[in-house]
Structure 1
């Protein structure tokens, strides 16, 4: 692997891990809870309607709120870094 591709993969992985908490907060998943009127609130509403009034534990909304409140778990960090690294690798084909 050439150094340029390796640098893009590394930058994508690190960038995704750094950007994930910012993106979660911007979407309304915060340590204080879901922000009213946000994308997170809309997602929670849709999930509650789909589940008969409650948000399912372990569902997407619950997982995103958990990450927004407590940060990414080790496993989530690996997944986000892997996705970011894949995007970095894909960008190496366009440079």
Structure 2
């Protein structure tokens, strides 16, 4: 029985680490980078659509603005804790 608990703890820990590590990688992959939105990326298309919808600008607090902020600044400690908790819960279930 103890081995099962160890395995659950390990998979929970792995799930938490993967969740926290994967989000910045995914954001960079779709074009929200530390130096701005990458040209010809999904992020650039999102920014273009948001600008068209808002008469030429991207609204502060919009999804595009928030994702770009995360791309530049990274995730807050609170967000990392939430992601880690969710990832750990999913890892535990597997």
Q: TM-score, normalised to structure 2's length?
A: 0.81
Partner secondary structure for residue 37 of structure 1: coil
Q: Give the drift of 1:9.
A: 1.4
Aligned length: 91
* Aligned-pair Cα RMSD in Å: 1.8
Per-residue Cα deviation, 1:57-94 (whole angstroms, up to 9, x for no partner): 1222111111111111112212221232232133x2xx
Larger Rg: 2
1:51 to 49, 54, 63: 54
For residue 36 of structure 1, the aligned residue among 15, 34, 39 is 39
The whole-number CA distance in structure 2 between the counterparts of 1:84 and 1:70 is 22
Cα distance in 2, alignment partners of residues 32 and 83 from structure 1 = 29
- Answering whether residue 86 of structure 2 is matched by residue 61 of structure 1, we say no
Q: Deviations over 1:36-75 (max 9, x none)?
A: 1101111112222333332221222111111111111112
Identify if the C-alpha distance between structure 1 residues 45 and 26 changes in structure 2 by more than 3 Å, giving closer, same or farther. Answer: same
Quote the residue 1:80 is aligned against: 83
Q: Could you tell me which residue of structure 2 aligns to residue 18 of structure 1?
A: 21
Moved more, 74-83 or 36-45: 74-83
Normalising to structure 1: TM-score of the pair?
Answer: 0.80
SS at match of 1:2: helix
